[in-house]
Amino acid sequence: MRTQLFIDGRWTTPLEGGSFDVLDPATGKVIHRAPAATAVDVDAAVRAARRAFDEGPWPRMKGAQRARYLRAMAASVRRRLEELATLEVLDNGKPLPEARWDIGDVAGCFEYYATLAEELDNHDIEPIALPDPRFVSKAVREPLGVAGAIIPWNFPLLMAAWKVAPALAAGCTMVLKPSELTPLTALELGAIAQEADLPAGVLNIVTGLGPDAGQPLSEHPGVDKLAFTGSVPTGAKIMASAARDIKNISLELGGKSPFLIFEDSDIEKAVEWILFGIFWNQGQVCSATSRVLVQDALHDRLVARLVEEARKIKIAPGMTEGALLGPLISHGQFLKVRAAIDTACTEGAKLLCGGVRPLGLEQGYFMEPAVLVDVPLDSQAWREEIFGPVVCVRRFDTEAQAVALANDSRFGLAAAVMSSDDERTERVASRLRAGIVWINCSQPTFTEAPWGGYKQSGIGRELGRWGLDNYLETKQITRLVDDKPWGWYIK
C-alpha cells in the first residue's frame, strides 16, 4: 500500500510529514497509514499540473496519441484486477464480486475515452457558415486546462476513472483528491500512470482530509475546473469557492430517487429490482431508488415479499463467499443511518425489518437491510438521503398522484418506473424530473450514457460524450480572406 503522494510523476512524502488512519469497515481496525497532504502539497501538485498543461506536450498531442496512454492504463487495470478489487474491499467493505465489477468498469471507462480521444482528431474543428463572404470561421474544441477532482468513498476507483479518463482524453491535466476513507486504489492510479509512461504532471494524486487537502484544491487559483462528486453541503461550498474565480464546475450530488411500481407489474421482478436498487453497495449509492411508490392493489403483497426477501440477504465481510451486503463505510455512517431509522419511527413510519446489527457480526459496521412503510411525506426519511440499506415504501392510487409524489423532492438525480404497459412507462418517464430514468429496472449504468441530475442533484453531466465535453472549451477562429479594405477607417 502506498505511503506517498503522487506529484509530477514521482512518489513524494508530504512536505509536513503527516499521515492518517485507513480503517477496514468490516472490522473497524486500522489497516494502513495513508499520506496526509496539506495546502503546500496541493500547491505543488497544482503547479506540476499547470506546467504540464502550459509547457508540456499533453494538450498539444493528437487525440490518438493520448488514446495510447489511456489504453495502456486500461490494460494495467485489467492485469491488476484481482489486486485492485481486493484493495477496494479492504478499505470500502463492498463484496468482492461488486468490487471486481467496479474495477472492470474502470478499465472499460479508460478504453471508452481512448476511443473518444481518437475521434477528437476528426471532430474537433467545425466550419461555420457566415453571411459575409469576406470571412471564414470555425469553432475549435480545446482542452479546458488544469482540472481538480474530488471524489467520494462509495465507488473509489470507479469515481476516479469517471473524472480522470475524460479529462486526460480531452488533453487536460488533473489533480485528484480521493476520499480520506478510501484512498488505497486511487493512489494505485499513480503506479498505473507510471507504468503507462504518462508524462510528468499530467495526473497528480493527493490524499488527505477535506479541510487540509480538498479545500485548498477547490480554492487554488491555478485550477481551471473543479469536478466534484459527493454531498450537497460540500458541493455548495465548492460552488462558492469556484464562484470567487468564476471557475468551470461540474457537480454530481445527492439523490432521493423514486421507484414507481404500477399494479400490473410482475411482483417477483419488482421485488428483485427494488432490492438491487437500494441494497446494492449497502445502499451507499447516490442514485439508489430509496423511495418506493407502489399502487394500492399491489402494495400489501409486494411489501410482504420484499420483507421476506430482504431477510434472506447474506450479510458478511466483503471477502466472504456469497456475501451480498457488506459493512457500511464507517462508524459515523452506521450511527447516521441508525439515527435516520429511529427518527423515521418517531415520526410515524413503521419498521418491518432490519436496521440493526446482525447477530454474529459484532465487529465492523454491518446493518441488516431495513424496510420502512407508511413513511410520512414530511419526514426526513422520505425527503433526505440516508445513504444506507434503508428503503421507504408508500402506496399511491393514480398515475398522476404517483408522478406528483415522485417529483416532490429537492433532488432529481434518478427515478425508475415499472409497468407492463409500455405506453404508460414512456409517459411517466417523460414526466419525471430526473436526469436518469430507468424503465422496468433500477441502477444499470453505462459509460456511454449521460449521468447527472436535476435540481439539487448537481450541475452538468458525466460519462458518454457529455463527460468529455466537461473538459473542453470551444473557441471561435475567424479569418479575413478578402484583402480589400474593411471600409470603416481605411479608405
| Gap between the Cα atoms of 314 and 305, Å rounded | 17
Residue 488: strand, helix, or coil: coil
Q: Using DSSP bridges, classify how beta strands 411-412 and 454-455 pair: parallel, antiparallel or unpaired.
A: antiparallel
Catalytic residue among 109, 286, 385, 392: 286
User: 252 an active-site residue?
Assistant: yes
Write out the three cell numbers for 351.
419498521
Dihedral pair phi/psi, residue 246, rounded to 5°: 55, 50
Q: Calculate the dihedral angle through the C-alpha atoms of 110, 329, 101, 170, rounding to the nearest 10 degrees.
A: -10
Q: Got the DSSP string for 229-277? A: ES-HHHHHHHHHHHHHHT-EEEEE-----EEEE-TTS-HHHHHHHHHHH
Write out the three cell numbers for 171.
488533453
| Gap between the Cα atoms of 70 and 167, Å rounded | 11
Catalytic residue among 252, 368, 385, 462: 252
Find residue 177's DSSP bridge partners. 150
Amino acid at 120: L
Write out the three cell numbers for 147.
482540472
Write out the three cell numbers for 432.
419525471
User: 188 an active-site residue?
Assistant: no
Q: Which residues are catalytic?
A: 252, 286
